Structure 1
């Protein structure tokens, strides 16, 4: 099955390549941005910003926090992810970004064992030894840590290396780790991918959520995405929720968790005390 959407490579608002006389200048600017990113990683000028993902039926209950990496330039300003993520996602620099995000997410869990955190990664990082080494060491040193960790993999990335993902996911589920399929329904949704990898959570792409309460076209696509996710046993969440109307429509359609600026922006100073137990079961995987 496929939805009538163009495939999207990532969640970072990537622009198509420019076919114009400005292309060379843009390429130079990209190189400068990538150099800033590499320097930020080397100098550890980075933070993890956390955004709450709340229970749709009771937004006062936080299901988990999603961690977003923030890389800083020499002026301590955030380098926008959309400016570099598309260019580095399939390179070693992309793997290093995933390592940094994972390391900071695991540290947050170690310091706050009462919370639950999701961390984004490219499926290619699963085969990157430094990344897998960070995860395995943390699980050895803190055996219960996996029960509060969610790993988010975007749909386009998962389609690239399903044969690598499948044994990794099976292994990590033994440690209690839950997997979320990010950007769900953004492009080509593979039934074989859903069958073979069996993600516990489907995160409906934010572009589809915008104005879903008033757009009949958006409602058709989102209803289909919800039905497909539920049919294969995935717990449904929606991202980029910005209005009460969107939130109410998604709740009525059976979405379990909501994420977006309506409930709080990503912040590097989260109040983890707001996390409460009694959170919804993510396909039986919640602690």
Structure 2
């Protein structure tokens, strides 16, 4: 059964329903009921809960925001829950309740909500090359969102907005689906690297069954897919991450750890989960041909990876000097603007003269 958490888009319904409001303290309840009376909304008050029948949540939130009647702390002290017409109040319904502060933040996230509701995520692709031959062995699917006006929303804004508004579950699910469908539409060969957010997954067997189903229906063999762990610095529950990666591996997929070397957390994860591939953080690759400190860190990562039988992907390569150094030090895979920038259609790589001259 699909997970309602991943598929429900807040504020997507503009139908009127029963809006329930409650406050942390009685003094705030008195102010709220006074505000509602002043606006001509009234409402029925019972056991410190205000019920506003036949109310559109979005319209109510805009009214509250534009009135300026409450401060930020008061927004945090008022909770709101919308029930569909005819829906009864259950304990489970409370999982949809948010403070006004959180609901108003969602209004500011309207662009992302619109992208989610109308499924306007797309994938751009960047090639990944074999370090020994320069051959393209696969592509990374990189998430983009299309706004109504056609402009793009990039991953930094998507993920930060999603994290601030409890939308990572919806974003992660649609992003995985988009990557698989886009790769199939482009008839891509080779490895497909797909990012995923481990904190957006409750139970691997349940939450990821859709991914397995999409890949199977699209004819993409599991051994072609590499799932990348992103936002490693936010991973607090390593055992949970292990369960996710075990599920992927049992299903025949490979896993990669992104941004290795960017902090203690990624190195700790490397030792504990032993991914199939590590992607060395681009901040280590930048100017590595002229920076002894970066060279030392990269050499150490290569050594650790060899001991653990892990492939090393050097990402963010931008200059011939960086390329020559990481290849000489033993990188297995390469990625970066030197070869190609991400594009809607998989681009042909540049910089291949490095191998023809070798």
TM-score (norm. length: structure 2): 0.61
Partner of 1:201: 277
Q: Check conservation: 2:122, 2:182, Cα contact below 8 A.
A: no
Q: CA deviation at 1:199?
A: 0.5
Q: CA deviation at 1:34?
A: 2.8
List aligned pairs for 1:104-143, cutoff 5 A.
104-111=178-185, 112=187, 114-127=189-202, 131-138=207-214, 141=217
Q: Give the secondary-structure state (helix, strand or coil) at the position aligned to 2:296.
A: helix
Q: Give the secondary-structure state (helix, strand or coil) at the position aligned to 1:203.
A: strand
Bigger Cα displacement from structure 2, 104-113 vs 244-253: 104-113
Q: Check conservation: 1:55, 1:256, Cα contact below 8 A.
A: yes
Q: Give the secondary-structure state (helix, strand or coil) at the position aligned to 2:122.
A: strand
User: Given the alignment, which residue of 200, 213, 218 partners 2:294?
Assistant: 218
> 1:33 and 1:230 mapped to 2: Cα distance?
47
Q: Check conservation: 1:123, 1:157, Cα contact below 8 A.
A: no
Larger Rg belongs to? 2
Alignment CA distance shift 1:191-1:44 (3 Å): closer
Bigger Cα displacement from structure 2, 262-271 vs 131-140: 131-140
Is 1:154 aligned to 2:230, yes or no?
Answer: yes
**Count of aligned positions:** 247
List aligned pairs for 1:59-138, cutoff 5 A.
59=134, 61-89=135-163, 92-111=166-185, 112=187, 114-127=189-202, 131-138=207-214
1:181-229 deviation line (CA, Å, top 9, x unaligned): 0000110056663344220001000111110001112112222222222
User: Given the alignment, which residue of 231, 234, 241 partners 2:310?
Assistant: 234
Q: Check conservation: 1:54, 1:259, Cα contact below 8 A.
A: yes
Q: CA deviation at 1:41?
A: 1.6
Alignment CA distance shift 1:226-1:268 (3 Å): same
Q: Give the secondary-structure state (helix, strand or coil) at the position aligned to 1:236.
A: strand
Is 1:48 aligned to 2:123, yes or no?
Answer: yes
> 1:213 and 1:95 mapped to 2: Cα distance?
40
Q: Check conservation: 1:205, 1:238, Cα contact below 8 A.
A: yes
Bigger Cα displacement from structure 2, 218-227 vs 82-91: 82-91
Q: Give the secondary-structure state (helix, strand or coil) at the position aligned to 1:58.
A: coil
Q: CA deviation at 1:91?
A: 5.5
> 1:243 and 1:123 mapped to 2: Cα distance?
33
Partner of 1:249: 325
Q: CA RMSD in A?
A: 3.0
1:151-202 deviation line (CA, Å, top 9, x unaligned): 0003625742321222332232133200000000110056663344220001
Q: CA deviation at 1:47?
A: 1.1
TM-score (norm. length: structure 1): 0.75
Structure 1, unpaired ranges of 5+ = 1-23, 25-29, 273-287
Alignment CA distance shift 1:237-1:119 (3 Å): same
Question: Higher relative contact order by CA 8 Å / sep ≥ 6: 1 or 2?
Answer: 1
